[in-house]
Amino acid sequence: MHSQINFGYGWVWSYGHLALGVVAGAVLWLGWARGWGKTWLLLVGAVTLWALSAGVIVRFVFDLNGRTTLPTEHFLASGAGKVLDMGAGTGRSTLMVLEARPRAMVVALDSFSDEYVRHFGNEKRDQPVAGEGRERLLHNLKAAGVEQRASIQPGDMRQMPFEAATFDAIVSAYAIDHLNRAGIRQSLGEAFRVLKPGGQFLLMVVAKDRWLTFTFGPMLMHMRKAGSGFWQDGLRAAGFEVVEDGTRPATVFILARKP
């Protein structure tokens, strides 16, 4: 069942460093065989070592194309309710909730716009992105056997097509941090609006921590100065109470509650 799931993050995210490590290792071997000077050998050796160790971290610690688990057991501890996934993409965060909370229903919202294509590509160029995006997400939900508890809703998280107080809980993973500051403010306000009083909001964003700095350095620039404090301030400004915060490699998570 697991083998059929395809979260669609390009191979370069999972294997790019390892490929670079293999190439650098080959150059190192060539240089050694040809008697290059110590400085060059040390330099290429350092690149090889970095690329291979970063590759192992990206593939096995970040594991973007593998399933992920809830970062906190306190999210939807009742196990049931109607949950919104803001920026569901190919369904990794949707599955995270559906598999941890077998009595929950999830509405997977995504804009299926340029940002979607930037992450997941647009394999079927003859089809609108929204059609292909819905198909890929549904494929993953079916592969996990959870499609009966999920629905897919195209839409923009900055102006969501839902009535006020529709959801018992909201999750958003690695999606809001792709927006500009105005977009972030709008999305957090919208999350507050569509959540029922007492409902929880689990926000997960990319964190520029040691793991990310070591593996990607300056390549990943999402909100590069925004730490947990930025997100907590934004949540409070939207009306939420922050009840828990924590980290995972390359991730900050915050559990908030609508009073």
Of 55 and 89, nearer to ligand SAM (C-beta) is: 89
**Distance between CA 128 and CA 135 in Å, rounded?**
11
List the one residue from 93, 140, 200, 215 that touches ligand SAM (CB under 6 A). Answer: 93
Residues 161-200 that bind ligand SAM (CB under 6 A): 173-175, 178
- 163 alpha carbon, distance to own chain's centre: 26
Q: Does 203 bind ligand SAM (CB under 6 A)?
A: no
List the one residue from 132, 156, 190, 245 that touches ligand SAM (CB under 6 A). Answer: 156
Tokens describing residue 173: 């993973």
| Number of helices and strands in the chain (H, E) | 8, 7
Of 20 and 106, nearer to ligand SAM (C-beta) is: 106
Q: Does 76 bind ligand SAM (CB under 6 A)?
A: no
**Nearest-CB residue to ligand SAM?**
89
String of contacts with ligand SAM for each residue 94-113, x by CB under 6 A: ---------------xxx--
The footprint of ligand SAM (CB under 6 A) covers 87-89, 92-93, 109-111, 115-116, 119, 156-158, 173-175, 178
